[in-house]
A and B are shown apart, each in its own frame.
Chain A
Amino acid sequence: MLIDRKSRFLTREEMIGFAILAVVIFLVLPLALDTFRLNLFGKYLTYAFVAVGLVLCWGAGGILSLGQGVFFGLGGYGMAMFLKLEASTPEATAIQSTPGIPDFMDWNQLTALPWWWEPFHSLAFTMIAVVIVPVAVAFIIGVAMFRRRVGGVYFAIITQALAAILTILIIGQQGFTGGLNGITDLRTLKGWDIRSDEAKEILYFVNGALLFACLFVAQYVRRSKLGRLLIAMRDQEDRVRFSGYDVASFKVFVFCLGAAFAGIGGAMFTLQVGFMSPTLVGIVPSIEMVIFAAVGGRLSIIGAVYGTLLVNWAKTTFSESFPELWLFGLGALFIAVVMAFPNGLAGLWSEQIMPRLRKRTGGGNGAPASPAPVAGLSEVRKAAAE
């Protein structure tokens, strides 16, 4: 019974894929890295939340959002507001003209906490807001766009404009948001010092566990009827519509789901990095997150995680030794992943490595048509040629 259900949720190969990823995240990385590097990888993994959401929206649904930074930022700022309020006790801010409000508000002559900051005194509210606010924004955008059958490039540009607007708004309203500096100097979560090495390690594992939760949700959606409909919509939207399905609602749902993932990622980013900044909201990070998903393979949720880790690790390594060359490398990566490897890492795995492994282990072990972690090449080609 149990086995039966599992086999529907995860194929054998997918199970191996999840297991390997779990080993990498929960065993290999923590054992191999010191706290500093582990914290870095924890930061990268927060981007993976966004990349997984993008795989659902873009790879499966054909909706490319260039504004995922908005949702990441909303989640991150939500958490940052809570932590900042906790750090701004009247005692800690006694030198200000108005003690008890965040320092940047005092610098901007605010004399009272804005009303919409008040609920963020509550951790429970914050944890809900971190998910609900991005979802609500995504819902509004999604309904407005998808009901009017806006898609493709238009959708991409409008979401990009939203990312730009939110950045300008955050920077311009610095009395309420911290402006260009962001919300900095976050110290404790309910009295627990998030800056200590121990806290960083715990947060890394919490982050990993949440990521896996999101991966399972994503996997469930892909395996469900909804997932199959999404792919059908991506390839032949009109036929699905003519078959009587409400295409727009499906799209809104998957877009909201991606936003929820991004919001959780943003909140975990704030916790692990210790501040939130408008540089994570704008156009550039939003597009970079798309490339993480693309490098991993736009159809593979596990590939998205590897893609995120690989690109960020490369960024850190190369920008330490060759900062000037790094941008050439990143640019070339964008082009290469589009021109030469539309399936990304997951494609390499399923097209190059798996067949060879199978050949070596005797081949044809009774899994002829099983979809690998990625769907087959033909599917991507079709997707690419939408």
Chain B
Amino acid sequence: MTDFTKPRQPAGPSRRAVLAGGAALTASLFTPKGLRAQDFPTAAVNTTGLAVTDDTVTVGILHSVTGTMAISETGSVQAEKLAIEQINAQGGVLGRKIQFIQEDGASDWPTFAEKARKLLVNDKVASVMGCWTSASRKAVLPVFEQYNGMLYYPTQYEGLEQSPNVIYTGQEATQQIIAGLDWVSRDKGAETFYLIGSDYIWPRTSHKIARKHIENFLGKKVVGEEYYPLGHTQFNSVINKIKLKKPDVIYAIIVGGSNVAFFKQLKAAGIEMTEEKPIVLSISTSEDEILGVGGENANGMFFSAKYFQTLDNPINQKFVSDFKAMWGPESVVGEVTHNAYIGPWLWKLAVEKAGSFDIDKVRAASPGLELDTPAGMVRIHENHHLWSTTRVGRARDDGQFDVVFETADLVEPDPFPDGYQ
């Protein structure tokens, strides 16, 4: 799928063995285990009154399907439904079919908290796949901790958090940022950086980490740092400032509709990303966002993340084709969509290792689990984040990426990084 050639190891057992030191733990998608429900009596696998019967188990899906965040969260809902359908086709979890209850967070944080409480208290769901923004996660977090639920959270985020009731399937900030910055400074010889972001916690914290890394570890220079309100559509002033400062790298963490305005205005202002300089490096503009921006406007941009739709491995190819079969040939898969997809799989893996749906046992079983995902192998860390590969891709004019770099090893998640506070 990619026409870019680079040293890449096949995602085979040899590499896994090297990285993990033991292939026994590693599971792969799409290989049915054939567990039968009668081998796992309900009374034994569910001692805490969850919504588990002899042949079904109920989980919750909690995303915004209305309001401003519906733009972003739709893909996650689609991916989670696909994963659940595939798991059911293989016989379900501990021989039980997954049923889901979908709730709408309506892009409103109190609504998220309300619906989370409903899912946990009224519906007794065995786990919840959900949330997108940090704000919605922060809103539901106390609910999950109070009622001891389990949330699989798909978005790459700012870190500074480690809850026993959340599995973070997206990368935390250092994982996503540092490898990309190292690459751009080493391979591209970048010396000066201009940081620009939407005004909320994720871009601010991420830029804080980026700035520390650029100044203290790379010894390079940050020439500007700017924040714009969410939904902002006028970037001409900042583009002029960028022209004045002539940075080597424009490091952009812009979310939502502002992306469209930013990239269109960047192009209109004559900043050609297909040239050598300046390099636009983003950690927020995946295939999903480019759909709205338009491939011709994002052409040449770099994106640092763990997943790209063009990744060339059999698991990813099956995932992408299944996704398109379920949700239409026009649909694309971005970073968060992929992370949402692996949530149900990681949960299944943990439940089957624990031999129980009980939250405490699932939690205890989670660390150390390994899974071959479309983005390569991931392993759950003690801190509930994932060891994962970080890659850098360059956008083509069709809205897809060519992968130009990937880390040799899995990057350790470090939500409370020393030296970056």
Question: Which residues of A does B touch, CB under 8 Å?
Answer: 34, 36, 39-40, 43, 95, 97, 103-104, 107-109, 168, 171-172, 174, 179-182, 184-187, 195, 273-275, 277, 279-280, 316, 319-320, 323-324, 326-327
Contact = CB atoms under 8 A, between A and B. Distances in A.
Nearest to A186: B142
A195 B142 contact: yes
B122 A36 contact: yes
Interface in B343-358: none
A184 B136 CA distance: 10
Nearest to B160: A107
Interface stretch (B100-108, B276-284, B304-312): B100-108
Contacts of B110: 43, 273, 275, 277, 279-280
B118 interface: yes
A181 B135 contact: yes
B142 A185 contact: yes
Contact of A279 (B66, B109, B160, B204): B109
B311 to A, nearest CB: 32
B268 interface: no
B204 A275 contact: no
Contacts of B114: 40, 43, 273, 316
B23 interface: no
B37 interface: no
List the 5 closest A-B pairs by CB distance, nearest first: A323-B104, A180-B200, A181-B135, A184-B138, A277-B109
Nearest to A173: B199
Contacts of A103: 160
Contacts of A36: 117-118, 121-122
A323 B110 CA distance: 16
Interface string B227-243: 10110000000000000
A182 B109 contact: yes
B106 to A, nearest CB: 7
B118 A274 contact: no
A181 B113 contact: no
Contacts of A43: 110, 114
B373 interface: no
A107 B135 contact: no
Given A40-B114, A104-B201, A277-B109, A182 B104 contact: no
A220 B135 CA distance: 41
- Of A109, A279, A326, A327, most buried by chain B (CB within 10 Å of CB) is A279
A110 to B, nearest CB: 12
B113 A273 contact: yes
A237 B158 CA distance: 55
Contacts of B158: 107
Contacts of B200: 171, 174, 179-181
B313 interface: no
Interface in B94-150: 103-104, 106-110, 113-114, 117-118, 121-122, 133-135, 138-139, 141-142, 146
B220 interface: no
Contacts of A186: 142
B421 interface: yes
B172 to A, nearest CB: 13
B244 to A, nearest CB: 24
Contacts of B40: none
A274 B113 CA distance: 9
B135 A172 contact: no
B65 interface: yes
A172 B142 CA distance: 24
Interface string B70-114: 000000000000000000000000000000000110111110011
A277 B142 contact: no
B201 A174 contact: yes
Given A95-B416, A174-B200, A273-B113, A323 B65 contact: yes
A104 B421 CA distance: 13
Contacts of A273: 110, 113-114
B221 interface: no
23 contacts: A36-B122, A40-B114, A95-B416, A107-B204, A108-B204, A109-B208, A172-B227, A174-B200, A174-B201, A180-B133, A181-B134, A181-B201, A182-B109, A182-B135, A187-B142, A195-B146, A275-B110, A275-B113, A275-B139, A277-B109, A316-B114, A320-B118, A323-B106
B274 interface: no
A171 B230 CA distance: 9
